[in-house]
Chain A
Amino acid sequence: MSNLMSPKSPQWWKKDDVKKTFILWILCTAVIGYVGVEFHVRNLVNPASETMSSIITLMRVFTWAAAPVAGLVSAISITVLTSKRHYGDNPPAEADHEIRNSPKAAAVWIVISGLLCLFALVAGLIVLQQDNEAILDSKAIQVNVTGQQWLWNFDYENGARSEDLYLPVDKPVVFHITSVDVKHSFWVVQMGIKMDANPGYTTETAVTPNKIGVFDVRCAELCGLLHAYMQTKVHVLSQADYDAWLSAHGATEAGA
């Protein structure tokens, strides 16, 4: 790094170790970016909502944005480790150096990390804004979620109740989440939403499922003895199936 900005060596880029580091940088960036993205994308759950898809996109983007920095650190490390190494109980001769401080290198480094930081912030804010607006959707279905030691249950607008969640596909839904005892965290895994259930308060989060299927609901906040088992399923149905389920269950609860 030190010599990159040195005004006294006009042809610094022609030096062997700089060239080597540069090539390694390109390679490391590519490898880290590719492996990092694939590691995340392959292991992440399959998205069942636009929210989860945008989280996956964010992680892809962040990984590629961080890859050049990680690549540079790796490239310099490799160059250093593959240069002449000294073994033994006594130290090697001291290294003469061109520069001890490089305000320019530091400035460039800080500006770049500041820009990356700003980029991450803006990317995050855009997605955050979409999520926040979803809660205000007036056409949304409202579902009350109650967490309690060690179960979830769900109340629907027509009085139906269930211990596993039923939702129609492609329709926004707002969850009103509370707890009757200690803190829990309502996590619909494949939809990428999570919100704590606090005793005495109601919190809100929203999502639009976009896939028919069965997905997972888990508790993500240690809530005592059987926390590990505090999970259930969410069934995303077609609108017709959902209506049928809802009226059948609304009738049962009301008729008893």
Chain B
Amino acid sequence: MTTLTQQKEVAPKKSIIEKLNVFTALALGVISAIVVWRISLALLPQDSESARLFSREDKITLLSMCAWFVGFMTGIGALVGPFRWLMGKDLSHSENMFLAGENMGPKRYFRYTTDHKVVGIQYLFITILIFFLGGGLAMLIRTNLGTPEGGWLHAQAYNSVVGTHGILMIVGTIIMVTGPFGNFIMPIMIGARDMAFPRLNALSFWLIVAAAVPLIWGQFIGGITTGWSAYNPLAGQAPLGMDGYIMYICIFAISTMVAGANITTTVVKMRAKGMTWNRTPIFIYGVVASVALALPAFPVFFLSQVLSAFDRALDTSFYNTAGGGSGWLYENLFWIMGHPEVYVILIPAIAALMEMAPVFTRRPLFSFNVAVLGIAGISGLSVLVWAHHMYISGWAPLLNAPFMLTTELISIPTGMLFLVLVGTLWRGRIWMTMPLMSIMALLWNFMIGGVTGIYLSDVPADAFLHGSMYVTAHFHFTLMGAGLTGAIASLVYWFPKMTGRMFDKTLSWIAFWLVQIGFNVAFIGMFLVGLAGQPRRVESYAPTFNTANLVTTIGAYIVMIGMLVLLHGVVSSALNGVKAPKNPWQAKTLEWTVDYPIPLENFDVLPTVTTDAYGYGKAKS
């Protein structure tokens, strides 16, 4: 009632917030970029002939990209709130309700909408888009490697495709669980009305959109020819496309930090009454561990790229030996981010499957405490292992043994997660659904990924395996075989809550088998060429590796077909799927207690929690 009267008061003067959307953002972003580009083109001095580095074009590119970023974020309305607060006139209630997307219909998906459910769907959309693009690039790589001489793509384009595939997939896998499900499901699961900082939530999503443009822009000005790790000094030498990568990472890192602060605060402060830590679902632990790990990791990533931009545009020498810097500095910064980052990807995916395990076996999660301990142990150790990526870099041979120790220690908490999963499956009532089989697939793929990780963690064996296709196969088994499998299962599991319709069962099974079989064929073939000595990131290879590479290519095509079937399943089920009941899986977490469509603030009356969510069956004793 109060909302209505307030709306009437504001109605004559249309607030600026109501005029801004993704189109004004695009327009303002493009205009700002063009204006700054013209100005810097006119004003910046030419490089001197004898300069050590020609950096004028880098300066122009970076400035234009910054202008795009600022213009886009202004155009979407990210600055309205802070600006109004600065003027001492904070947003009114009706403006906040407008921002939350109240009674707005589909338009709210194209605005700076603060409702966590809208942000979740937006994240889901962009995750699918990223996987489509990144997967498409993987197909280009595999097509080029189908024959030994390569040459379908020329060397520069190939290197750029490899780098872009890498960074797209890293970003895609980082957001694939915490983005859609961490935003849409998590607040309902803990019994909250929204996130702790709804505007930061919108900010974290639109930052990812803003980041995408420099990356695409970079493709047309030389590409990202350095692989996703963008090692310096190679990145300093690379064409202008590298500036696109730098901007992309910087903006994405801000997004991740913002999301991390928001999600952590939400879980710590906004759990329902009675939801003690012992009653908090394991998925929440996974999401929090993931974003909390990102909090120390991504500022380092941000910093590493800022320094890289300085080296390129301002002729500093952070990473350039000729000027007193060191490439090892970059490697350290990169992997201090890079190794926690793989667990940022893995933990929420595994936690999601641990959340599903009791539902599809109809028995409690086995050893909840061990699960929490496992997640905590992985998170803690993962910040201490980064230099295992640098065993053979020559940086500090004396540190190889201690890093070998920390790396191998991670297998203990990882083993705990296995224990929890097999313990939950044991003597359960197996409900054959795609999520249940995804748990089996995770056990299989993560077992292969984990055991091959032991060889790689061993310094002498790594001296052979490092930089070979074996490594590529290993991390695809962990990030794709375990991580993506968990994310796809999450999609099928929470689909009814997010769209109100069931995911088509037949399509989910077809997609599952195509993806899993294709995946195993592809990457077992890749292990094989790695053992035979094929390096990573090569555009052509000796004919002796041809058969296994061809097998990998065929496997990859099967994965592509499976993924497209899945995509069809998403679209067709969302449009014409069977209407879902409130709680189709008969699960016991809070998100299944709300009706579809979920009201703006989720709960009429906030729930009180008296038990954990795993009370299936009776204890026999």
Contact = CB atoms under 8 A, between A and B. Distances in A.
Q: Do any beta carbons of A and B sit within 8 angstroms of each other in the complex?
A: yes
A121 B431 contact: no
Interface string B301-312: 000000000000
Given A59-B461, A225-B159, A228-B538, A200 B393 contact: no
Interface residues of A, number: 99
B411 A225 contact: no
Interface stretch (B49-57, B69-77, B400-408, B479-487): B400-408
Given A17-B427, A98-B620, A198-B328, A187 B454 contact: no
Contact of A95 (B237, B362, B423): B362
Interface in A168-189: 177, 181-183, 185, 187, 189
B416 A109 contact: yes
B234 A183 contact: yes
B392 A194 contact: yes
A106 B532 contact: no
B76 to A, nearest CB: 36
A117 B408 CA distance: 6
A179 to B, nearest CB: 9
Q: Which among A177, A196, A219 has the greatest number of chain B C-beta atoms within 10 A?
A: A196
Interface stretch (A86-94, A136-144, A241-249): A86-94
Nearest to B155: A225
Contacts, number: 288
A97 B364 contact: yes
B interface residue count range (under 10 / 10 to 19 / 20 to 34 / 35 or more): 35 or more
Nearest to A78: B440
Nearest to B330: A183
Given A91-B586, A185-B392, A222-B234, A45 B423 contact: no
B67 to A, nearest CB: 30
Interface string B594-617: 000000000000000000001011
Contacts of A62: 451, 454-455, 458, 461
A200 B322 contact: yes
Nearest to B535: A220
B534 to A, nearest CB: 9
12 contacts: A51-B460, A51-B463, A54-B460, A77-B425, A94-B362, A96-B617, A100-B368, A185-B467, A189-B464, A193-B463, A201-B326, A220-B536
Interface of B: 150, 155-156, 159, 225-227, 231, 233-234, 237-238, 321-322, 326-328, 359-370, 392-394, 397, 400-401, 404-405, 408-409, 411-412, 415-416, 418-419, 422-423, 425-432, 440, 443-444, 447, 451, 454-455, 457-461, 463-464, 466-468, 527-528, 531-533, 535-541, 584-586, 614, 616-621
Given A44-B531, A193-B463, 16 more contacts: A1-B419, A1-B423, A70-B447, A79-B426, A80-B425, A80-B428, A81-B440, A84-B430, A92-B430, A95-B361, A100-B614, A102-B423, A181-B233, A200-B321, A225-B156, A227-B537
